[in-house]
Structure 1
Amino acid sequence: MTPNPGTGRRLFQYALTAKGIFIAAFIALAIGVGAELAGPFIAKSMIDDHMLGIERPYYETASAEQAAEYKGHYYKRGDRFEPGETKGAEVRLLQSGRSFYFINQPVASPEGERTFADGLMTIKYGDKVAQYPAEKLSAAELYSFYKPEIPGILKLVGLYCVFLVISIFTEFGKTYWLQASANKVIQKLRNDVYAHMQRLPVYFFDTLPAGKVVSRITNDTEAVKDLFVAVLANFSSGVIYITGVYIALFLLDVRLGLVCLFIIPLLIAWIVLYRKLATKYNTIIRSRLSEINAIINESIQGMSIIRVFRRHKQTREEFEALNDDYMKHQNKMLNLNAFTSHNLVNVLRSFSFAVILAYFGFGSLSGGTAVSLGVLYAFVDVLGRLFQPITGMVNQLAALDSSMVSAGRVFTLMDEPGEDVTDGTMPRYKGDVEFKNVSFAYKKENYVLKNISFEAKQGQTVALVGHTGSGKSSIINLLFRFYDPQKGTITIDGQDVKELPKQWIRHHMGIVLQDPYLFTGTIASNVSLGDEKISREQIEKALRDVGAERILAHLPQGFDEPVIEKGSTLSAGQRQLISFARALAYDPAILILDEATANIDTETESLIQSALEVLKKGRTTFIIAHRLSTIRSADQILVLHRGEIVERGTHDELMLLGGRYYQMYQLQQGASGGAVEAQPAAISPA
């Protein structure tokens, strides 16, 4: 599952939900880059304007301000004179080796190779040779010429410190705002994914393991968070930083900037090639991770079965096979990252420096200066900074591709068609249900229900019995509108259910399952399911009415006893009683009992039989029966066989008929009195 081209656009749309914070982060980033890149320009000014500036022409002056004293005379740099200020004779200070020399006359061309011998400074530039009388300066005399430059140097140092402080604060702001905006975006994305999962039709989860869904909502969205935090931070800062660096390079010297432009196409080609290879590996890696989550989830859910049937080895082998394949592709990604990591950045950096030094450096060092030493120093410094963001971007390529693949998986889940959610509700209907010539197939023309027709009036109890796969649960699925039939109509109070929002229909339905599902919380919260309309008094009354008070009285905290791990600390009978109380508290118009007493012991069953009569009163009740003895009082019993209703009537009518129901009942009665306990399971409904 490769990320589609719209993944980036949709991620951008999510980023717009926190655009204010992102903009603040990018502004801080731009200011920080500018403050950081000011350093080389300050260093250039120190070198060219102050440290090497003493080689510029000096003129004798009568004023001591900003002037150096040498042998009773004052000398000031030519660029320090105010307009209209009188200049005296020109002198020069030139360096040869490690020493500086005073030349008491103008120098025609100071560039070239310099040597000093016998009181003469010789300057050789190409075929030209010039000699000037010179005097070597002592350390104190040299300091007197540097002394006027100290205030300027200190000012630049102070300016550098200011930019450093700005850089520190903007780095903090950038990191904080990017993290905050990423958290906000991921919060919305995760909420949207979870909300969409709630809207997915029930049949969607028939083929997609829970572990895979969990992986997309947790692992994949967390990987998308890395995209906004680490990847976006490095790539956005990298782009801004590289842009700033190239602006700085061109400001320093246009020729040097043009020479360095070859780095950009190499970087783009690098990223494109890397992503082409990495996407293939990351798609498999994320898929394997989902499958690992799914098998772990399945193993935990079925741990008792695995142990009872000694499936440890087979389960472990299945897990190890997935884990080995996951590691194999992780190693492929590792190899790819090793070949395309910052080592190649080092090669690119070395090659760039070699080009710059070969093209310009020798001229500067030999005296035939193509650029000033300060410009060359600043350029090398700035060029070195260019590879910091490139290294950061390259190191985040793996995270970039992994995040894009994960985002694609998340958006694929969100693109699954969901059910429309309609706000509000409808008045409580009576519960008159009618199936008219209903046929239904889960897959194409393989019908599991064929021409089903029956009617259930308000207050009636309809029992569905039949062998496994006869279609009992399918009728309930259609009633809840988890699916819609291909043929025929289903009406409630004479209105076609397809014309009503699914949420409205289900609002007045209740169900008690054979294996009830309890949520983490308390017994009371599992009765109300957090519905504020159900008061504490209603909760306690419902529990008392189903006989739960007696069964749960021994618990330390009574109805506030904590429920964990789907009620694993409670017995099957206790869980079922809570499920009955839940149905009673919601006061449904239509009640479905899906083999609700199958897992309850005889003593507990006797407690709730009377409660069932209270529960069914005034409601249309559908019972999928496991024990046929529990449906003897049903108003109508429908016997299903291979998706068709083969018999219908009351218990007494069907017994007199002597057909399929009679045989099932006699077989169960015989099993209950004999030794063949497993026999009903072979013919009991699923």
Structure 2
Amino acid sequence: MTTGKRLYHYALQFKSIIAGALVLLTFSAAADLAGPFIAKRVIDIHILGIESVWHETEQGDKAVEYDGTYYKRDIYFNEGETKGAPAEIFQAGTGFVFVGEEVDADGDRSYSNGTLTIKNGDIEKNYPATALSAGDVMRFSAPELPGIVWLLALYFGLAVVSAFFQYWQRYMLQKSANRVIQKMREDVYARIQKLPVSFFDNLPAGKIVARITNDTEAVRELYVTVLSTFFTGGIYIIGIYIALFILNPNLAAITLLLLPILYAWMVIYRKFASRYNHKIRSRNSEINAMVNESIQGMNVIQAFGREKESIADFEKLNEDHFRNQNKMLNLNSLTSFNLVNVLRNIVFVVFIWYFGGESLEASSAISLGMLYAFVDYINRLFEPVVGMVNQQANLEQALVAGERVFQLMDEPEEEERGTELERYNGNVRFDNVSFAYKEGEWVLKNINFEARPGETVALVGHTGSGKSSIMNLLFRFYDCQKGAITIDGIDVKHISRNSLRRQMGIVLQDPYLFTGTIASNVSLGDPSISRERVEKALKDVGADEIFKNLENGYDSAVTEKGSTFSSGQRQLISFARALSFDPAILILDEATSSIDSETEAIIQEAMEVLKKGRTTFIIAHRLSTIRNADQILVLDKGEIVEKGNHDDLMEQKGRYYQMYQLQLGKGNLAG
């Protein structure tokens, strides 16, 4: 499905609001476009109505007295009412003259010595006439004033109605647009929660953030501004063409040539604009990623004096973004306003040529009101055209942004199939497991071990030996390519990921805290975890001693990543978080590596109580923290090279013994 269709389907979810807005827009356009018709009537029927056929009549409504006789315009006679002798009034020069008979000629007029002369080419006709004073002209014009006032009131009323409907249609369109983007952002955010961890390994956080925020905001502009402009413009263009066909079908048919020209322009424009916008959005994401990375690693950048290099890298990326923006700017400048001005001039040339030709024929004379209405409608025709042309850049930008958002939403999510387990005991078995992140590059080879409920299994080895990979497989962040991992005899591939992870707790080497409070970071907003359970978990890990002096206690504010707390305090909160969920399996990923000795002692005391009934895995570099482990697995290049408890491995005097002696020696040197 194309990006445009998907955006259309999103809009359909709020079709009732959009349909209501379009109905209001139709009424608004109809009220607004009635203006030139009213103006035409005011000009032709009332303002210029004095220059029409008058008939002698009796004194009464709409009758005007002149030279002792009453006259009334032909159009004001009722059906069956007797009409007297005809008369006409003409403008000649700057004045008006009264002719006491019906005139059958048209052309240039002149008045001199009681004679009105009308000349059309070689044909010249003379009529006896009388010059009218200003008072006479006002008397003949007086019957038209009520009609003019009524039409002006109608014009004003329609303008108010149009403004009212226009306000509400814009409000409803923008409301529906906000709803669409709200739904889209919720869908995108929900989608990334279901993506595998491997996806986030390969895409910087800044790029994902840019798609959820910047790109969806660009799509919002599509619904709020672009589609509103196109809807409004489309309805106005249809309305204007209807009015033009009513006024003059021939000229209206000629102006229809604008439509294929505009369509051809849009096709050509999009061909180039799409290319530039893809690059612009891509560079924008890369800039977000670089800024995000720089902020998070600012201490490293400043510590190693890499500010100039970091600025240079940013400027290079920003310069590329600037070049593509300029290309887009040049494209818009060369097309939008220039195209509209050219089209406007062509239409007016055709307009002048057409009406100029018709004015040469007396039988096809065009009224002043008709001329006014046509000029007004043609000017109005270009207002939506200008708006639609100027929104092409935003339209293309929104489509590109929408495409990027949908690419993220189309990423394959983790399959959530398998058995739902209420509670498992935590008997973990790795049976000849091999695993590779990239095909052929094995990071784990033939891993075999078993961890029984209540046991503590420690994983040690140099960096890259495969310790964290074992935990990634246990959590099913990844699945092994060979062998099997079972919990209570059930292959983890047959257990749903949610069910599997729900009964696991993890404490990372660098714990992540969310904005909120200490208590909310322990419960993570889970309604099933009570306040009492939160406080008990904190107390069990000894956090009450650490946080008791804080003014707000466990309700003390936590900023992003817990930057206002020490490493030990963050670790205690993270440890309490894992325990509050009462996991069957507990994973400590080098959880004490960044903690001072005093805090480590507090955790070690709590761990002896908390490990009972749980299968505990400890990834450790500090071997002093795992002396009491039931099993110690020594890994090297993805293989288990030694296995046993502390005493067994010390007796073997193998790799573990060497590592322990090395750390012990460092400790003595430090002392």
Output the TM-score relative to the length of structure 1: 0.95
1:127 is displaced (CA, Å) by 3.5
Matched, 1:26 2:22: yes
Q: Which of 63, 71, 78 is the matching residue for 1:75?
A: 71
Q: Which of 518, 525, 529 is the matching residue for 2:524?
A: 529
Report sequence identity in percent: 60
Q: Secondary structure at the match of 1:55?
A: coil
Matched, 1:63 2:59: yes
Q: Distance in 2 between matches of 1:540 and 1:252?
A: 81
Tell me what 2:329 maps to. 334
Q: Distance in 2 between matches of 1:615 and 1:317?
A: 51
1:40 is displaced (CA, Å) by 0.3
Q: Which of 373, 379, 383 is the matching residue for 1:384?
A: 379
1:454 is displaced (CA, Å) by 1.1
Tell me what 2:13 maps to. 17
Tell me what 2:89 maps to. 93
Give runs of aligned pairs for residues 404-553 of structure 1, distance below 5 A: 404-420=399-415, 426-553=421-548
Letter in 1 for 2:164: F
Give runs of aligned pairs for residues 639-658 of structure 1, distance below 5 A: 639-658=634-653
Tell me what 1:102 maps to. 98
Q: Distance in 1 between matches of 2:389 and 2:63?
A: 52
Q: How far does the alpha carbon of each residue in 1:167-195 deviate from its partner, in whole angstroms, 9 at most, with x for none?
A: 11011112111111111111000100000
1:128 is displaced (CA, Å) by 2.5
Work out whether residues 363 and 370 of structure 1, in 8 Å CA contact, stay in contact via their aligned partners in 2.
yes
Q: How far does the alpha carbon of each residue in 1:477-496 deviate from its partner, in whole angstroms, 9 at most, with x for none?
A: 00000011111111111111
Tell me what 1:351 maps to. 346
Give runs of aligned pairs for residues 305-316 of structure 1, distance below 5 A: 305-316=300-311
1:422 is displaced (CA, Å) by 7.3
Q: Distance in 2 between matches of 1:98 and 1:273?
A: 54
Q: Distance in 2 between matches of 1:656 and 1:161?
A: 102
Tell me what 2:170 maps to. 175
Q: Secondary structure at the match of 2:227?
A: helix
Tell me what 2:48 maps to. 52
* CA separation of 1:483 and 1:423: change in aligned 2, threshold 3 A: closer
Q: Distance in 2 between matches of 1:41 and 1:527?
A: 71
1:563 is displaced (CA, Å) by 0.7
1:55 is displaced (CA, Å) by 2.1
Gaps of 5+ in 2: none
Q: Secondary structure at the match of 2:448?
A: strand
Q: Distance in 2 between matches of 1:230 and 1:148?
A: 48
Matched, 1:594 2:582: no
Tell me what 2:243 maps to. 248
Tell me what 1:35 maps to. 31
Q: Which moved more, 1:51-60 or 1:337-346?
A: 337-346
Q: Supply the RMSD in Å over aligned alpha carbons.
A: 1.6
Q: Distance in 2 between matches of 1:420 and 1:672?
A: 48
Q: Secondary structure at the match of 2:594?
A: coil
Q: How far does the alpha carbon of each residue in 1:404-452 deviate from its partner, in whole angstroms, 9 at most, with x for none?
A: 1101100000000112457996311100011111111111121111111
Q: Secondary structure at the match of 1:331?
A: helix
1:79 is displaced (CA, Å) by 1.8
Q: Distance in 2 between matches of 1:505 and 1:173?
A: 51
1:634 is displaced (CA, Å) by 1.0
Letter in 2 for 1:348: L
1:536 is displaced (CA, Å) by 1.2
Letter in 2 for 1:255: N
Tell me what 1:393 maps to. 388
Tell me what 2:284 maps to. 289
Q: Secondary structure at the match of 2:127?
A: strand
Matched, 1:574 2:569: yes
Q: Distance in 1 between matches of 2:229 and 2:2?
A: 22
Q: Secondary structure at the match of 1:330?
A: helix
* CA separation of 1:513 and 1:101: change in aligned 2, threshold 3 A: same
Letter in 2 for 1:670: G
Q: Which moved more, 1:349-358 or 1:583-592?
A: 349-358
Runs of 4+ aligned residues of structure 1 deviating over 3 Å after TM superposition are: 361-370, 420-425
Tell me what 1:681 maps to. none
1:277 is displaced (CA, Å) by 1.2
Q: Distance in 1 between matches of 2:41 and 2:352?
A: 21
Q: Secondary structure at the match of 1:203?
A: helix
Q: Distance in 2 between matches of 1:525 and 1:123?
A: 95
Give runs of aligned pairs for residues 262-281 of structure 1, distance below 5 A: 262-281=257-276
Q: Secondary structure at the match of 1:169?
A: helix
Q: Which of 299, 302, 307 is the matching residue for 2:297?
A: 302
Q: Secondary structure at the match of 2:621?
A: coil
Output the TM-score relative to the length of structure 2: 0.98
Tell me what 1:682 maps to. none
Q: Distance in 1 between matches of 2:588 and 2:330?
A: 58
1:548 is displaced (CA, Å) by 0.9
1:115 is displaced (CA, Å) by 1.8
Q: Distance in 2 between matches of 1:22 and 1:424?
A: 44
Q: Secondary structure at the match of 1:442?
A: strand
Q: Distance in 2 between matches of 1:365 and 1:606?
A: 107
Work out whether residues 422 and 503 of structure 1, in 8 Å CA contact, stay in contact via their aligned partners in 2.
no
Q: How far does the alpha carbon of each residue in 1:446-473 deviate from its partner, in whole angstroms, 9 at most, with x for none?
A: 1111111111111111111111111111
* CA separation of 1:311 and 1:365: change in aligned 2, threshold 3 A: farther
Q: Distance in 2 between matches of 1:139 and 1:262?
A: 48
Q: Secondary structure at the match of 2:56?
A: strand
Q: Distance in 2 between matches of 1:318 and 1:549?
A: 46
* CA separation of 1:555 and 1:520: change in aligned 2, threshold 3 A: same
Letter in 2 for 1:470: S
Q: How far does the alpha carbon of each residue in 1:625-663 deviate from its partner, in whole angstroms, 9 at most, with x for none?
A: 111121111111111111111111111111111211111
Figure out how many residues of one structure are paired with residues of the other and give that number: 671
Q: Secondary structure at the match of 1:344?
A: helix
Tell me what 2:664 maps to. 669
Work out whether residues 455 and 616 of structure 2, in 8 Å CA contact, stay in contact via their aligned partners in 1.
yes
Q: Which moved more, 1:227-236 or 1:532-541?
A: 532-541
Q: Which moved more, 1:140-149 or 1:238-247?
A: 140-149
Work out whether residues 189 and 212 of structure 2, in 8 Å CA contact, stay in contact via their aligned partners in 1.
yes
1:365 is displaced (CA, Å) by 8.4
Q: Distance in 1 between matches of 2:579 and 2:273?
A: 56
Work out whether residues 122 and 130 of structure 1, in 8 Å CA contact, stay in contact via their aligned partners in 2.
yes
Work out whether residues 425 and 507 of structure 1, in 8 Å CA contact, stay in contact via their aligned partners in 2.
no
Q: Distance in 1 between matches of 2:363 and 2:279?
A: 59
Letter in 1 for 2:77: F
1:357 is displaced (CA, Å) by 1.1
Q: Secondary structure at the match of 2:256?
A: helix
1:98 is displaced (CA, Å) by 2.0
Q: Which of 551, 554, 557 is the matching residue for 2:549?
A: 554
Q: How far does the alpha carbon of each residue in 1:498-555 deviate from its partner, in whole angstroms, 9 at most, with x for none?
A: 1111000000000011111111111111111111111111111111111111122222
Q: Secondary structure at the match of 1:440?
A: strand
Give runs of aligned pairs for residues 627-638 of structure 1, distance below 5 A: 627-638=622-633
Work out whether residues 274 and 396 of structure 2, in 8 Å CA contact, stay in contact via their aligned partners in 1.
yes
Q: Distance in 2 between matches of 1:224 and 1:21?
A: 18
